[in-house]
Structure 1
Amino acid sequence: MKTLIINAHPDFNNEQSFSLKLENMFIEKYQKVFTNNKLEIINLYDIEIPQVTQQQLLNTWDKQRHKQSLTPEEQHLAQLSKKLLEQFKGAQRIVIVTPLHNFNITSKMKDYMDNIMLARETFKYTKEGSVGLMTDNYKALLLQASGSIYTNDDRYTPLDFSYRYLKEMFENIMGFDKFYVVRAEGTAILPEEEVMQKASQNLDIAFEEFYK
Structure 2
Amino acid sequence: MKNVLVIESSISGKNGQSSQLIAEFTKNLAPDVRLDRIDLQQQPLPHLDMPEIAAWMTPVEDRTPEQQALASHSDQLIERVKQADAIVLGVPMYNFGVPSQLKALFDRIARAGLTFKYTENGSVGLLDNKPVFIFATRGGFYQGTNADNQTPYLEQFFKFIGLTEQYFIYAEGLNMGEESAEKAFTAAKNRIDELTKKLAA
Tell me the TM-score normalized by structure 1: 0.84
What percentage of residue pairs aligned between the two structures are identical? Answer: 29
SS at match of 1:42: strand
- 2:156 maps to what in 1? 168
- 1:202 maps to what in 2? 191
- What's the CA shift string for 1:100-139, capped at 9, x where partnerless? 111111111111011111112111111111111223x411
In the TM superposition, what are the counterparts of 1:6-155 in structure 2 within 5 Å? 6-14=7-15, 17-30=16-29, 34-49=30-45, 51-54=47-50, 56-62=51-57, 64=58, 68-70=62-64, 72-135=65-128, 137-151=129-143, 153=144
SS at match of 1:45: coil
Taking only aligned residues, the RMSD between alpha carbons, in angstroms, comes to: 2.2
Distance in 2 (alpha carbons) for counterparts of 1:8 and 1:38: 20
Tell me the TM-score normalized by structure 2: 0.88
Query: Could you tell me whether the CA contact under 8 Å between 1:50 and 1:77 is conserved in 2?
Result: no
Distance in 2 (alpha carbons) for counterparts of 1:183 and 1:109: 18
- What's the CA shift string for 1:154-201, capped at 9, x where partnerless? xxx122212211111112x12223111101111011423212111111
Distance in 2 (alpha carbons) for counterparts of 1:21 and 1:10: 13
Query: Could you tell me whether the CA contact under 8 Å between 1:26 and 1:203 is conserved in 2?
Result: yes
Distance in 2 (alpha carbons) for counterparts of 1:127 and 1:67: 30
Distance in 1 (alpha carbons) for counterparts of 2:161 and 2:32: 30
Aligned residues: 198
SS at match of 1:49: coil
Query: Could you tell me whether the CA contact under 8 Å between 1:139 and 1:178 is conserved in 2?
Result: yes
> What amino acid does structure 1 have at the position aligned with 2:136?
Q
Offset, 1:80: 2.2
SS at match of 1:143: strand
Distance in 1 (alpha carbons) for counterparts of 2:60 and 2:86: 35
Distance in 1 (alpha carbons) for counterparts of 2:60 and 2:20: 46
